[in-house]
Structure 1
Amino acid sequence: MTTTVELTRFRVRPEHADRLPAARSGMLADFRADRSGFLGARLVRLPGDEWLDIVEWRSPGDFAASRAKGANLPGIRAFFDLIDELVSAEEGTTDESENPA
């Protein structure tokens, strides 16, 4: 199964970093309740106050529909509000042939 992967790199001010995990929980709950095709997500802390958000979607259409909704729910908005600067945003696909089950 091929999935769509959203890769978003962003900066959070050091004084907000401790609030990110709680806000993340709220965002993921809202995604599960409101975003068709949401499969899961991983958040990676990088050096220099940067983070990498890796989100998997069932299809490019599901990802596009999610982007169109933006921060439409409180949990999503609370997470986005902690982001100080967007560094990069990319979309790709998995190649499941490399990792057979």
Structure 2
Amino acid sequence: MITVELTRFRVSPGLSEALLAARSAMLRDFRADRDGFLDARLVRLADDEWLDIVSWRSSADLAASRAKGGNRPGIRAFFELIGEIVSSEEGTAVEEAV
């Protein structure tokens, strides 16, 4: 089953455009360096909050990714724009998207 990572975070006012600009390099680095990475969606919420929904092949792949942290320039640049992690959860997808 697919593991889903849900990370809710805040960026400082005025950094939203920089966050969006850094996203493509982060995803490129994830595809190149993160075994088991399937896809990601970034959702803009109210009050400078965001929700990142990332799908992984397994919980072990997610854990390995977390251990690597911001080890590549595109990932590091995106992570540095995050001002505060509000929450981070892991779940299991129970149905496929149609």
TM-score, scaled relative to structure 2: 0.96
Per-residue CA deviations over 1:11-57 (Å, capped at 9, x if unaligned) read 00121111111111110000000000000000000001100000000
Q: 1:40 — aligned with what?
A: 39
Q: 2:10 — aligned with what?
A: 11
Q: Distance in 2 between matches of 1:92 and 1:100?
A: 15
More helix by share: 1
Q: Distance in 1 between matches of 2:79 and 2:16?
A: 13
Residue 93 (str. 1) matches residue 92 (str. 2): yes
1:40-79 pair list within 5 angstroms:
40-79=39-78
RMSD (Å) for aligned C-alpha atoms: 1.2
Unaligned runs of 5+ in 1: none
Report sequence identity in percent. Answer: 69
Unaligned runs of 5+ in 2: none
* Runs of 4+ with >3 A deviation: none
TM-score, scaled relative to structure 1: 0.93
SS at match of 2:15: helix
SS at match of 1:75: helix
Give 1:100 shift: 7.9
SS at match of 2:6: strand
How many residue pairs get matched? Answer: 98
Give 1:78 shift: 0.2
Distance of aligned partners of 1:67 and 1:100 in 2 relative to their CA distance in 1, 3 Å threshold: closer
